[in-house]
Amino acid sequence: MTKIRFIGDVHGKFKGYRKRIRNVDYSVQIGDMGIGFKERRGDEIVALANPPFDSMSKGKHWFIRGNHDNPESCRRHPFWIPDGSYIDGVFYLGGALSVDKHRRIEGLSWWADEECSITELYALVDKYIELRPKIVVTHDCPSSIADMIMGHDKAKQQKPSVTRYALESMFHAHQPELWVFGHWHKTLTIEEQGTTFVCLGELSYMDVIIEDVHDD
C-alpha cells in the first residue's frame, strides 16, 4: 500500500507545485501544468518560466495533460502519463475543451488536438469498460457532473466537449469508487451513484492510498 498525491491545475505556478511534491514519494498532477504554454506579452512570446523538471526527477512525480498543455511537448516529456494508461488500478485520461480559445493563439496557448480524437475516445471507452477501474483520474469530468458543478443551463451554453461525453459514457458503463479531476478551478466533492467525485482546484491536492505503485 502506497500513498500517492493527486494535485490540481498548476497553470505555471511551479513554485507552488514544488512545495506540493516536497517530501512526497509519489504524485500525479492532473492537467494544466503549463507544459509548453506560451503567452504574448507585447511584441514578445514568453514561455512559462522554470518548468519543474528538476523537482520531478527527484522522485516519482508524473502528470496528465490538460487543455493548457502543449500535447506534443507532453508526448516528449519523460514524466507524462499517456491517455488511457492503467497503472495500479488507476485509469488516466487527459485533455479537455478550451472555452476561452478565442483569446488564445494556436500553437502557443491553444492546440487543435487539446482533446483526443473521437476515434481515440471510442477505443478508450472500450478499454475502460474492460478494465473496470476502482480509481479514475482525468482532467475534465463526465457531462452530468459538469452540469452539477456549473448549473444545467450554464453548462449547456458551452460548446460540446467530446471528452466530457466520452467520460459520461464511461461513467454510465461502470461506476468507480473514486474519480479525481481538475479543470473547473473549484475544490468540491460530489457523491453520485456510488462514486465519489473529487474536483481539485488550483494547486489543491488529495492523498490516496493505492496498491503496489510501480513504474509503467
Cell of 203: 494547486
Q: Are 211 and 88 in contact (CB under 8 A)?
A: yes
What is the tens place of the pLDDT at every residue in 198-214? 999 999 999 999 976 55
Domain ranges for the chain: 2-210
C-alpha distances out from residue 57 to 34, 77, 119, 153, Å: 17, 11, 33, 44
Those residues whose C-beta lies under 8 Å from the C-beta of residue 76, and which sit 6 or more positions away, are: none
pLDDT-based confidence at residue 155 (cuts at 50, 70, 90): very low
Write the CATH number of the domain with boundaries 2-210.
3.60.21
According to DSSP, residue 80 is labeled: B
Lowest mean per-residue pLDDT among 14-18, 156-160, 162-166: 156-160
Give the separation between CA 106 and CA 111, rounded to whole angstroms: 6
Residue 30 has pLDDT above 80, yes or no: yes
Beta-ladder partners of 196: 178, 191
Q: Are 206 and 180 in contact (CB under 8 A)?
A: yes
Give the separation between CA 61 and CA 95, rounded to whole angstroms: 19
What is the tens place of the pLDDT at every residue in 56-112? 888 899 999 999 899 998 998 999 999 999 999 999 999 998 887 777 877 666 777
Residue 189 has pLDDT above 80, yes or no: yes
38 burial type by CB count under 10 A (0-12 exposed, 13-18 middle, 19+ buried): middle
